[in-house]
A and B are shown apart, each in its own frame.
Chain A
Amino acid sequence: MPDISILTTITPNHYLVLSACLFMIGVAGVLLRRNLIVLFMSIELMLNAVNLSFVTFSHSFGKVDGQVMVFFVMTIAAAEAAVGLALAVSIFKRFKEVNIRFFEHLKG
């Protein structure tokens, strides 16, 4: 009978691998998509993956330092989304499009 303890016993490793998968999906989104908004969403995915590993380490070491760091990351992420979307709006007003194909014309 094969060893199925990796399926039945959840270690911090499981959470870290899940976090790595989430991060990689975010990287794939940033590299492969061309819509600016979807790019921002992929960045949010990556930040969430980092938050997940912070919380995992905080839990496995029994300290709350990691959770405090998650607060800071969340605040920065919200600020980043606000600034990015404001940029997207002002770019959309000019180009009527948010595809990054047009962003090579940003310079005057």
Chain B
Amino acid sequence: MTADAFLFWFLAALTIISALSVILMTNPIYSALSLAMTMVSVAAIFVTLQAYFLAGVQIIVYAGAVMVLFVMVLMLFDLKHELQAFTRGRFSGAFKIASIGSLAGLLVGAMYSARINSALTESSIAANATSKGAITPLAEELFLRNVFGFEALGVLLLVIAVGTVALSRSKGGTHARH
């Protein structure tokens, strides 16, 4: 077994196990920590796919900023172990799990029949990377061809920031006691 294959299987197992523990832990803090672990292993998978800059951004934005946000809010709530962490109802639960399983089978079956069989090799991204530097093609794509989307994203972030502050300052909306 080559080192590449071993690395992939190790990272895949790590990702799946930590993702499963996100939804199976009853204490939300443990869920948050498992989510951070999932983000880090997905970043490592990005490295194996030669998306080095995205791996860095993944760690900074997700494992850094978003996770800090989650953990801060969890600590604000001071949640203990929940009594009803999962939805009730044996029948509806079995139905949900069955539908998840059939959807997963459908997806994997579709991929299996589509079968992109070429072994993972050094792609032309890597060839570009050695000639132009790793980030140059990405920057050209982002700032030359997708500049409108980039600017629109900036406006969206401004709106989101204002909206979040307004939302957290609101005194309960329709539930306000006058």
**Chain A residues proximal to chain B, CB less than 8 Å:** 7-18, 20-29, 31-35, 37-38, 40-42, 44-45, 48, 51-52, 55-56, 58-65, 67-68, 70-72, 74-79, 81-83, 85-90, 92-94, 98-99, 101, 107-108
Contact = CB atoms under 8 A, between A and B. Distances in A.
B70 A40 contact: yes
A32 B87 contact: yes
Contacts of B23: 25, 28-29, 32-33, 38, 42
Interface of B: 1-2, 4-5, 8-9, 12, 15-16, 19-20, 22-23, 28, 31-32, 35, 38-39, 42, 45-46, 49-51, 53-54, 57-58, 61-62, 65-66, 69-70, 73-74, 76-77, 79, 82, 84-87, 93, 96-97, 99-100, 103-104, 107-108, 111-112, 115-120, 123-125, 137-138, 141-142, 146, 149, 153, 156-157, 160-161, 163-164, 167-168, 170, 172-175
Interface on chain A toward B: helix, strand, loop, or mixed SS?
Answer: helix
Contacts of B12: 14, 18
A86 B167 contact: yes
Contacts of A67: 51, 53-54, 138, 141
